[in-house]
Structure 1
Amino acid sequence: MGGDKTKMTHVEVKSLDVILDNEQRDGYCSGEVVSGHISLKLSEATTVKTIKVLLKGYAQVSWMHKRSRCSEERKLQFDLSGTQDLIFFDSGTYEIPFDLQLPQSPLVSSFSGKHGRVYYMVQAVLKRSFHESQRVNRELCIISHIDVNVPTLISPVSQTCKKMIGCWIFTSGPISLTASIDRQGYCNGESIPIYALIENCSSRLVVPKAVIYQIQTYTCKGKTKSIKQVVASARGNEVPSDTSSRWNGNTLKIPPVAPSILNSDILRLEYLLAVIVQIPGAKNLEVQLPVVIGTSGHGMSSRSIVNMSLLYPTFTLPDVAEAPPSYAEVVSEEQFEEHRTSTCQSRPDWLLDGSAFACIQQFHLQPPPPYSEVGRFFILPFFLLHL
């Protein structure tokens, strides 16, 4: 947890800082006491009108919407303070202790995402007569306790979906998927046992996989913005045509992630377990099962599950995208020759004459350049888009 010292503009006050008693602590929960001291260094004797310690919390969201910024800030439900009035200090270094007890009511966990954050701070305010107030902040990590042993989170959940492949007389049979988990509440480091039945009555080979998504939802003035991230995934065995496959508790381990945030009206952090059947040439079949990531349960304490780094996650996209298949894998030599012959025969005589047709023939039906030569994007000549 970091803090910053104020830049003093008055010669009497050399430095002002907030020091917490346990700087290495992962975070604080509702009802706990935040203790520490204010460090004050003076170069000259001075009279302090007021020294105040405040504990504040804010939830902020912000993103661009139609060329304008949509932003909102909510002050969280407490503003604790302690005050000492009218004190005379000689030059030297002073430590002024403080104790602030967090409210017993549930708090929103600290979190920092792409379009918003929830943060808390201990603020020290020094006031002197005929001087501007001087302030210094120390960030404080808050963890909202979520017990995954409550009845609503230990009940099983299941979903089924079915899809017909093809259309009209070209149908090749249905593919059905049923997936379930024995409970909805889990903690970091646990593995989710997945039970699934994939029935493939089509003519295609399909591949099942399981994915855990983190969904960040930001709300501002009636508008919402969602970010969906993959935090874990696992691939199952292929399911050939006219066969079925069953998962009897196949596991997917939960990586270190921030706990769910369900008690804020402008920033939510949720998780989904998706079981997906990948179908070549068709839209995937998918069921989504809600999952809550808690801080304690199943014999684990909140201190052993959550650390501050999980509340400020970073996700990055791959540096290099996967290359597309080569031209030879998509179009055979027989198809290329057949299409070139039929295309040339169908051209009108007026188009076969002149330099335009010669230029077209230079590029038409030629393999694209290797992926390594052009990177992620390749722009075709404009006239080729109309062929």
Structure 2
Amino acid sequence: MLFEQLKKFRIVLESSEDGTPPVFSSGDVLSGRVLLELSRTSRVTSLKLHAVGYAKVHWTESRSAGSSSAYTQNYSDEVDFLNHRETLLQAEDNNEPKVLQAGRHEFPFSFQLPEDTLVTSFEGKHGSIRYAVKVKLHRPWCTVKKIKQEFTVIEPIDINTPALLAPQAGAKEKMARLLYRNIGQVSLTAKIDRKGYTPGEMIPIFAEFYNSTYRSVVPKAFITQTQTFIARGTMKQKKSVVATLNGDTIGAKKRDTWHGRAIKIPPVGPSILQCRIIRVEYNLRVCVHVPGTSKLSLELPLVIGTIPLHPFGSRTSSVSSQYSVNLEWLRMAIPEQPEPPPDYSAIVSDEEAEQHMTPPQAEEDITGVLERPYFAYVQEFRYRPPPVYSEVDPNPQGSAIRRRCMTC
């Protein structure tokens, strides 16, 4: 029997020089070998390789059709990114199987990944983006033996582009109400120096708060992640708070200003913006909580990239600090968090949720912890040397689908 003859059968992908798992992007050459070790002479019909990459989403929703009946609606979709086949070993022209002697056999393979069509690997609650190399071993009168080796794809996002280096700013105000009467107005303005950041960086927030009510208010900031899954013209969302920043209490008729108060980006996956059925987006949300009434909230979009800021791309932080935080991201260090991020619903009032939410509703995350994708092993950071002294800035400054839910 084949399973008695087959001692070893596995796929080995070429790893980086330091032995870390290989990571690829569009246009890269994927190389490896299939290892086959036999305990005795065997006849093999074929050895075939199939490389696949796809995004897939699926969820179900239960709906009531009356007082005593209900039905379940399924939503699913799939998009293919990679479909490569090749034969590593084939029978003779007369269909006579190949005879392999006992011992170890290696079958190398190498092929180029598609240009500009891949999407970053991802694992979420209602969908995933996965890549794998599959191999099938065919032998006369025996069951086909199958093996699979998954691999990671990271599509680079360079934050050194005009769109991602542009400052983001906004202002909002709201009349606070308590027991159906106005108690004064609360206003906020906020600005960040750019839209694009990489994990491990600090985001300096410049904000001004004015509390004209007779009650104290509390400003806060959150980094939120929104996973959007799309199928059959309908979307499902999962929102999580991944980082928090608490401000000081602002007394009645008082102002407060944040002069670059910083919030740290934890080791999260990069933004996914180019996939038709799965999107991963980030926002910086600055809120003012007024006891007894709904929150005032301002949302600034973020893009989490993979290629860090060039030394002269911004004057918000030194080159050496960027270098160190990028290494921390590669090591997948756990960010310093004295307590876990709050439930997303903690920064969303019931009133605002009912006003802005459109079915199917965005799903709340009760843990604040993301389903982490295969991400963040970008090799280009690892061997980047520190900048020479002349490269350091001598004068750094101080620190048509349904409408997406935009609830606070």
Q: TM-score, normalised by structure 1?
A: 0.73
- State the match for 1:184 in structure 2: 195
Q: Distance in 2 between matches of 1:42 and 1:75?
A: 38
- State the match for 1:42 in structure 2: 38
Q: Distance in 2 between matches of 1:164 and 1:171?
A: 7
Are residues 1:295 and 2:306 paired?
yes
- State the match for 1:80 in structure 2: 84
Q: Distance in 2 between matches of 1:201 and 1:171?
A: 11
Are residues 1:18 and 2:22 paired?
no
Amino acid at match of 2:46: T
Question: Is contact 2:57-2:78 (8 Å) kept?
Answer: no
Query: How far off is 1:160 after superposition?
Result: 1.3
Alignment of 1:154-173 (within 5 A): 154-166=165-177, 170-173=181-184
Relative to structure 1, is the Cα distance of residues 111 and 159 closer, same or farther in structure 2, using a 3 angstrom cutoff? Answer: same
Alignment of 1:248-287 (within 5 A): 248-287=259-298
Amino acid at match of 2:6: V
Structure showing the higher helix proportion among its residues: 1
Relative to structure 1, is the Cα distance of residues 306 and 240 closer, same or farther in structure 2, using a 3 angstrom cutoff? Answer: closer
Q: Distance in 1 between matches of 2:114 and 2:189?
A: 44
Q: Distance in 2 between matches of 1:204 and 1:155?
A: 36
SS of equivalent residue, structure 1 residue 282: coil
Relative to structure 1, is the Cα distance of residues 305 and 54 closer, same or farther in structure 2, using a 3 angstrom cutoff? Answer: farther
Instruction: Point out the structure with max Rg over C-alpha.
Output: 1
Q: Distance in 2 between matches of 1:280 and 1:166?
A: 10
Q: Distance in 2 between matches of 1:34 and 1:57?
A: 13
Question: Is contact 2:81-2:117 (8 Å) kept?
Answer: no
CA RMSD of aligned residues (A): 2.8
- Which of 227, 236, 241 pairs up with 2:247? 236
What is the percent sequence identity of the aligned residues? 36
Q: Distance in 2 between matches of 1:131 and 1:169?
A: 78
Relative to structure 1, is the Cα distance of residues 202 and 271 closer, same or farther in structure 2, using a 3 angstrom cutoff? Answer: same
Query: How far off is 1:228 after superposition?
Result: 0.8
Structure 1: 5+ residue runs without aligned partners? 1-7, 311-315, 323-387
Are residues 1:110 and 2:121 paired?
yes
Query: How far off is 1:77 after superposition?
Result: 2.3
Q: TM-score, normalised by structure 2?
A: 0.69
SS of equivalent residue, structure 2 residue 163: helix
Question: Is contact 1:146-1:295 (8 Å) kept?
Answer: yes
Amino acid at match of 1:270: E
Amino acid at match of 2:9: L
Q: Distance in 1 between matches of 2:262 and 2:178?
A: 35
- State the match for 1:338 in structure 2: none
- State the match for 1:59 in structure 2: 55
Output one character per residue of 1:239-263: Cα deviation in whole Å (capped at 9) or x when no partner.
Answer: 1111111112111110110111111
Q: Distance in 2 between matches of 1:65 and 1:169?
A: 37
- Which of 134, 138, 145 pairs up with 2:156? 145
Q: Distance in 2 between matches of 1:187 and 1:241?
A: 38
Output one character per residue of 1:321-354: Cα deviation in whole Å (capped at 9) or x when no partner.
Answer: x9xxxxxxxxxxxxxxxxxxxxxxxxxxxxxxxx
Structure 2: 5+ residue runs without aligned partners? 63-70, 92-97, 311-321, 334-339, 347-408
- State the match for 2:257 in structure 1: 246
Relative to structure 1, is the Cα distance of residues 263 and 304 closer, same or farther in structure 2, using a 3 angstrom cutoff? Answer: farther
SS of equivalent residue, structure 2 residue 82: coil
- State the match for 2:367 in structure 1: none
Output one character per residue of 1:88-121: Cα deviation in whole Å (capped at 9) or x when no partner.
Answer: 3112221111112222214211111122111110
